[in-house]
Structure 1
Amino acid sequence: MRGPRNAIVASKKPLGDVLKPPNRNTDTSLKEKATKKNSGAPKRPVGAFFVFMEEFRKSFKENFPENKSIAVVGKAGGEKWKSLNDSEKAPYLAKAAVRKSEYKKALINFQNKLNGTVVEDTAAEDTGNSSSEVHDGEGEVEQELSS
């Protein structure tokens, strides 16, 4: 029979130190990474799947009015989206692309307002040409690509 292990017992930390949670408020790296969001900024556009789900929810609600579960609707929509081929997904991809281009325009306008510059870009939409042209000394015109 062995005796008590005094060496191990003596090296243990007191319970008070073990039960205390670490102080996370003093971590400055998290504070530096946090960015303040601007409430006036345009919302990011949804992807093609969520454009599909907007229409799918309406049709699912008409077909199954007694179903109130969000999880069932989401699961059925996901299965339906996976079963669609590329040609059936194309209208939703196009709608998502339109929303993305509108978001980019709204974001540029918002950033210009923050910087104090107001740019009217209605002529470029009507003609299809870019309104930002750079003229060099030789008379050539270089257009900037907007992406």
Structure 2
Amino acid sequence: MKGTRSKPDTRKADNKLSVKRKAGASDGASKKPTKKDKSAKDPNKPKRPASAFFVFMEEFRKTFKEKHPNNKSVSVVGKAGGDKWKSLSDAEKAPYVAKAEKRKVEYNKSMQAYNKKQAEGANAADDDEESSDKSKSEVNDDDDEDESGEEDEDDE
């Protein structure tokens, strides 16, 4: 009896595995996009500013390293910083929030300048395309005249 029970159980497991393999293999459209599929990031684009917590963490890491020079774990520093941030009052967080707001204003200015440059670059590219379209149409007009002349000769 033990042998008969194990055979159906393995068949069920095999069926489940084979179904999973088939679904994964045949379903190519549900794959996540790879890094190659995503568009490349512009290295000239300004980086987003740090939040108030990350401004706090910049300072906290320095003080934590001074107090715990033997600590090599990043996670311990992060957990200690998170706990400290949670325990701070709004008044204690205010200088970090102000620094973060200042960085955000600077970021917005640099993004406006960046977007303006991108728009100017796009306009220049559009202008180039228009001039190349004109030259193509002129070339096509010349070809049409030649073809019409040849057709007259063939009709006679």
Question: What's the % identity of the aligned pairs?
Answer: 50
Please show how residues 63-102 of structure 1 align to structure 2 within 5 Å. Answer: 63-102=67-106
Q: Which has the higher contact order (CA 8 A, sep 6+)?
A: 2
Q: RMSD in angstroms over aligned alpha carbons?
A: 3.4
1:101-129 deviations in whole A, cap 9, x for unaligned? 11101111111111117xxxxxxxxxxxx
Structure with max Cα Rg = 2
Number of corresponding residues: 110
Deviation, 1:19, is: 2.2
Query: Equivalents in 1 of 2:55, 2:70: separation in Å?
Result: 24
1:37-69 deviations in whole A, cap 9, x for unaligned? 322211111100000000000000001101111
Task: Extract unaligned runs of 5+ from structure 1.
Answer: 1-8, 118-147
Seen in structure 2, the aligned counterparts of structure 1 residues 23 and 42 have a Cα distance that, compared at 3 Å, is farther
Larger strand percent: 1
Q: Give the structure-2-normalised TM-score.
A: 0.58
Seen in structure 2, the aligned counterparts of structure 1 residues 81 and 18 have a Cα distance that, compared at 3 Å, is closer
Q: Give the structure-1-normalised TM-score.
A: 0.61
Aligned match of 1:45: 49
1:26 to 9, 24, 29: 29
Larger helix percent: 2
1:71-106 deviations in whole A, cap 9, x for unaligned? 110010001001100110000000000110111011
2:111 is the counterpart of 1:103: no
